[in-house]
Amino acid sequence: MPQRGHRATKSYDARFVEQALAIQDVDPRDAHSLGYTARILTIATLPHRAQPGDHYERQNGGYRLIVQAMPGAGLPFGSYPRLLLSWLATEIVRTRRRELELGRSMAQFLDGLGLSRSGGRAASSPEGRARSAGTIWRLRRQIVSLFGARFVLHHVGNTREGVEILPIGDRIQLWAGEGGLSGTAFPSSVCVSEPFYEHVLRGPVPVDLRALRALKRSPLALDLYTWLTHRAFVQQQGGRAATAVPWSALQVQFGADYPLDSRGRADFKKAFLLAYRRVQLVYPAAHLDDQGSTLIVRPSVPHVRARRAALTV
Q: Which residues pair with 208 in a beta bridge?
A: 34
Of 42, 47, 64, 88, which Cα lies nearest the Cα of 229? 42
Distance CA(123)–CA(128), nearest Å, equals 9
Q: Taking residues 230-247, what's their average pLDDT?
A: 86
pLDDT-derived band at 234 (thresholds 50, 70, 90) equals: confident
Q: Is the pLDDT of residue 56 over 50?
A: yes
pTM for this model (two decimals): 0.86
Q: Which residue has the higher pLDDT, 218 or 18?
A: 218
More confident call, 239 vs 141: 141
Interval 99-112 mean pLDDT:
83
68: left (phi over 0), alpha (psi -120 to 50) or beta: beta
pLDDT digits (tens, 9 = 90+) for 171-222: 998 876 554 555 555 578 899 999 999 999 999 999 999 999 999 999 999 9
Sequence ranges of the domains in the chain: 1-32+208-313, 34-203
Quote the CA–CA distance of 96 and 93 in Å, as a whole number.
Answer: 6
| 215-to-78, 164, 210, 246 alpha-carbon distances in Å | 12, 29, 9, 25
- Look at 2 and 260; give whichever has higher pLDDT: 260
pLDDT at site 169: 94
The least confident of 118-122, 219-223, 233-237 is 118-122
The Cα 230–Cα 177 span in angstroms is 39
Mean pLDDT of the chain: 85
